[in-house]
Amino acid sequence: MSVPSVVGVYIFTICLIVPVLVYALVKHLWNQPLQNGPGYFYGIEVPAGFYEGRGRSWLKGYHAMLAALYLACAVALGAIVATRRWEMTPLWAGGFALLFVPSMFAFQAWTRHKLGVDPPVRPVALALASRRLGDYISWPAEALVVALVGLSWWLLLRHAGAHFDWLTPLLWSWVALGFLPGKIATVRASWPLPTERTEEHYRYQDAMRRNSIRVMNLYSWSTVVILFGIALGHGGWSAARRIPWLPWSVMGVFLAVWGTMMVAVFRGERMAATVGRDLIPAGSWRTPFRRATLMMSNSRPYLIWFAIWFGGILAFLGYALWQGQLFK
């Protein structure tokens, strides 16, 4: 792949990511704390007149956080364009994600700490239906992910040069394979079911659970495509390196998977804002036996998985930064 083609791929990627980020901000993120109606803030029940009083400062704080995150993203992108360091595009996109996700989790945790200290207690209904992992997770697809990761490493170990950067495939392998425990935790986790409109709450929970797993599946496949592309480019057989359209094909597959993943993300947000708006948010109440949770993913196994998985990503990036490989 020639140098102008690589630059073209980076510019094309930026042109795709920027509209998606703007759309997410305008359509979903800006008013996300209000998606359950004026009686709630981020799924936490608030008193009448909340948004005429201190609720304004909470909204201003949330909007200020979003503005700061997007400003940092815009400044970093502006620096890339001004210096023409197009090879920094993956670092720009990944860096924004690594900054955005902990910030949103931290704000939700702070909201729970300050506004949801003593939620009301409601009677709880029991769901007698069991959830089997095979009903949510495709084991043949998981085996294919493992096989493609193994094939990528076989190509790299056989054909990569002595000066190859092994940290990059390690990172992508960690991201791709690390999703399976998260999917299992998502299947096992659940919200409490209120006694009012129990069947509707159950169907909504199950739809959100399936959509979350779909997003994880697509995210995992996008990283597998990246890893396999690296293996073909650096460790693949010589004939593959001479195919001019192969890098573009890999990029096309990645963008197709990534685009489908974003559609699934926005579908989940739209479901929460429409179907979930008329239901009782899980974070607005607690049962006599269980404290309130802000979201379904706040189960202990899920949080443990996320801390290990996300912490591993930060450890890889921190090591690369310490070795001076991150900005090469």
HEC profile for the chain? Answer: CCHHHHHHHHHHHHHHHHHHHHHHHHHHHCCHHHCCCCCEECCEECCCCHHHCCHHHHHHHHHHHHHHHHHHHHHHHHHHHHHCCHHHHHHHHHHHHHHHHHHHHHHHHHHHHHHCCCCCECCEECCCCCCCHHHCCCHHHHHHHHHHHHHHHHHHHHHCCCCCCCHHHHHHHHHHHCHHHHHHHHHHCCCCEECCCHHHHHHHHHHHHHHHHHHHHHHHHHHHHHHHHHHHHHHCCHHHHCCCCHHHHHHHHHHHHHHHHHHHHHHHHHHHHHCHHHCCCHHHCEECCECCCCCHHHCHHHHHHHHHHHHHHHHHHHHHHHCCCCCC
Residue 320 lies in a domain: yes
Whether residues 183 and 78 share a domain: the answer is: no
Residue 171 lies in a domain: yes
Whether residues 177 and 96 share a domain: the answer is: no
Decide if pLDDT at 4 tops 50: no
Quote the number of domains for the chain. Answer: 2
Residue 63 lies in a domain: yes
Residue 88 lies in a domain: yes
pLDDT of residue 217: 95
Q: Could you tell me the pTM of the whole model?
A: 0.83
Decide if pLDDT at 2 tops 70: no
Whether residues 231 and 140 share a domain: the answer is: yes
Residue ending a domain, among 88, 117, 146, is 117
Residue ending a domain, among 83, 117, 151, is 117
Whether residues 139 and 261 share a domain: the answer is: yes
Whether residues 210 and 306 share a domain: the answer is: yes
Higher pLDDT, 296 or 15: 15
Whether residues 148 and 95 share a domain: the answer is: no
Whether residues 145 and 74 share a domain: the answer is: no
Decide if pLDDT at 157 tops 60: yes
Higher pLDDT, 88 or 215: 215
Residue 312 lies in a domain: yes
The arithmetic mean of pLDDT across residues 13-27, rounded, is: 90
The arithmetic mean of pLDDT across residues 44-56, rounded, is: 84
pLDDT of residue 11: 86
- Mean pLDDT for the chain overall: 83
Decide if pLDDT at 327 tops 60: no
pLDDT of residue 1: 45
Whether residues 169 and 221 share a domain: the answer is: yes
Residue 41 lies in a domain: yes
pLDDT of residue 33: 87
Q: What does the pLDDT look like over 88-131, one tens digit per residue?
A: 887 788 888 888 988 988 888 888 888 877 777 777 777 767 78
Whether residues 107 and 147 share a domain: the answer is: no
Q: What does the pLDDT look like over 9-18, one tens digit per residue?
A: 788 888 988 9
Whether residues 76 and 170 share a domain: the answer is: no
Whether residues 20 and 89 share a domain: the answer is: yes
Residue ending a domain, among 69, 91, 117, is 117
pLDDT of residue 223: 92
The arithmetic mean of pLDDT across residues 53-66, rounded, is: 91
Residue 123 lies in a domain: no
Whether residues 224 and 102 share a domain: the answer is: no
pLDDT of residue 112: 81
pLDDT of residue 74: 94
The arithmetic mean of pLDDT across residues 169-190, rounded, is: 91
**Structural domain boundaries enclosing 45:** 1-117
The arithmetic mean of pLDDT across residues 262-270, rounded, is: 87
The percent of residues in the chain predicted with pLDDT above 70, rounded, is 87
Residue 126 lies in a domain: no
pLDDT of residue 297: 52
